[in-house]
Amino acid sequence: MKAICIECAKEPHLKKKIKIEGATQTCFMCEKKGLAVDFEKNDFFQLVKALVRFHYSEWEYNGHLGGDGYESLFYGSDNIFFEFDRAVSVEVYEELVGFITDGDVYETYEKGISIFAGYGEGDLQNMPLRAIKSDMDRSLIKISNRLKTENYFHVEHAVKAILEKYISVAERKITEKKYFFRARVGYKEEKNSMESGFEMEAHYLPYSEDQIGAPLPNIATSGRINRPGVSYLYCATDKHTAISEVRPHPGDHVSIGKFDLKRDVRLYDLSESQLLHFSGNDKDLDNYIPFNTLGSMINKPIPPSKNQHYSITQSIADCIRQLGFDGIFFSSTVGSGYNVVFYDHRLATYNPDEAEVVEVTKVKYDYQSKPSIGCSRQKCLYFGNIIYNIK
């Protein structure tokens, strides 16, 4: 048996598999003892191919389509799979990569995962495989487009039918001992006091209780999860994410409140890809695309100027509530943590223990280039993550 440890695995899904299934043993790559799994087993082999399909479109690695070759994905600075520098020798690393790249690249639909589209009848080239992470499910796209001309309740049956298929992998239960955070720009009161008899220092009283809780329905505006006039309790798993979610400006003061769960809750979790549940064969990967699309829609950054795109996410959230869930769990688009939205604000109560006011000192924008129309530069800038510094 040849094992690879969690430290030598680079891609998050590989690390997660090792964390769940691994045992302490000597790693083939680094020759150190640690949590590891047998990389020669078929399920590991299929997972790596599933990750190739998830992250890359075929034309990026198929030499006949302009790519640099399948094997090239595992080398160089763009390698996302394994920690090359941890290998005790180049030969050891090459043996690991050889096990993967020398294996079957064409598999029976329900037996394994193919990384090349191959040829169909009459030796016609099949359409190249597209990266799953950007391959949106057609049925959900059609539903989203229908919401431009139809009321949301006309599409609920179709949305619920999709959501029901993934309950077993999306269900997340959180115990009453957990707590979350909310933030609100501003504070209730400011007082100045003399420090050491020489200079004034400001002291702040944060918003608390209902002032930082869920808004009343009559003032609740449209959000990613709620429709106008519907009051849900939006929370975050950590303070920094809670602050980031209210999009403060440099110099803003922000109140933070802690909320304790009153009972165990059942959430629909769209924060993770859950690819491990769908990495056995091509049929599983095809079944995975709708679930991945649900997560992409919920987690996609949407600027305030385009909040009309909330129509599909609000419909998804409505249907999750109708399926009996207490709320929804998803990734933050501006913070490093996660968001939790409770349909009933009474599920969590305010706890004054960690109430405070912070000042935002700096805002940093991360961006990536996007194709542009009629521009000599050929690209325009797309702003993604926002990083907030606080004190």
Three-class HEC string of 212-252: CCCCCHHHCCCCCCCCCCCCCEEEECCHHHHHHHCCCCCCC
Q: How far apart are CA 204 and CA 193, in angstroms?
A: 11
Q: Which long-range contacts (CB under 8 A, 24 or more apart) does 218-222 make?
A: 222/307, 222/310, 222/314
Question: Over 60: is that where the pLDDT of 365 sits?
Answer: yes
Specify the amino acid at residue 291.
F
Give the global pTM: 0.88
Question: Over 70: is that where the pLDDT of 388 sits?
Answer: no
Residues 167-183, mean pLDDT to the nearest whole number: 94
Q: How confident is the model at residue 131 (pLDDT cuts 50, 70, 90)?
A: very high
The candidate with the shortest Cα–Cα distance to 319, out of 165, 169, 141, 155, is 155
Question: Over 80: is that where the pLDDT of 304 sits?
Answer: no
Query: Cα 233 vs. chain centroid, distance in angstroms?
Result: 20
Label the pairing between strands 189-195 and 33-38. Answer: unpaired
Which of the residue ranges 125-129, 163-167, 198-202, 226-230 would you say has the lowest mean pLDDT? Answer: 198-202
Q: Are 155 and 314 contacting, i.e. CB atoms less than 8 angstroms apart?
A: no
Q: How confident is the model at residue 305 (pLDDT cuts 50, 70, 90)?
A: low
- The pLDDT of residue 375 is 56
Q: How far apart are CA 56 and CA 62, in angstroms?
A: 10
149: how many CB neighbours lie within 10 A of its CB? 7
Residue 329, token pair as written in the block:
């769990």
The candidate with the shortest Cα–Cα distance to 248, out of 383, 385, 360, 390, is 360
- The pLDDT of residue 123 is 74
Question: Over 90: is that where the pLDDT of 255 sits?
Answer: yes
**191 or 214: which leads in pLDDT:** 214
The candidate with the shortest Cα–Cα distance to 243, out of 305, 203, 235, is 235
Residue 223's φ and ψ, nearest 5 degrees, are: -135, 180
pLDDT-above-70 percentage for the chain: 92
Residue 350, token pair as written in the block:
């305010």
Residues 132-142, mean pLDDT to the nearest whole number: 94
Please state, in angstroms and as integers, the Cα–Cα distance from residue 98 to each residue in 45, 344, 386, following that order: 11, 53, 40
Q: How confident is the model at residue 202 (pLDDT cuts 50, 70, 90)?
A: confident
Give the single-character DSSP code of 306.
Answer: G
Specify the amino acid at residue 195.
E
pLDDT tens digits for 306-356? 667 789 999 999 999 999 999 999 999 888 899 999 999 999 999 999 899
Question: Over 80: is that where the pLDDT of 391 sits?
Answer: no
63: how many CB neighbours lie within 10 A of its CB? 11
Buried b vs exposed e over 150-169: b needs ≥16 C-beta within 10 Å? eebeebeebbbebbeebeee
Q: Are 236 and 322 contacting, i.e. CB atoms less than 8 angstroms apart?
A: no
Residues 48-69, mean pLDDT to the nearest whole number: 95
> Which helix (H) or strand (E) element contains residue 96?
helix 90-101
Residues 267-282, mean pLDDT to the nearest whole number: 95
Q: How confident is the model at residue 164 (pLDDT cuts 50, 70, 90)?
A: very high
- The pLDDT of residue 342 is 98
Domain residue extents for the chain: 3-132, 167-365
Q: How far apart are CA 15 and CA 29, in angstroms?
A: 15
Q: How confident is the model at residue 198 (pLDDT cuts 50, 70, 90)?
A: low
Question: Over 60: is that where the pLDDT of 192 sits?
Answer: yes
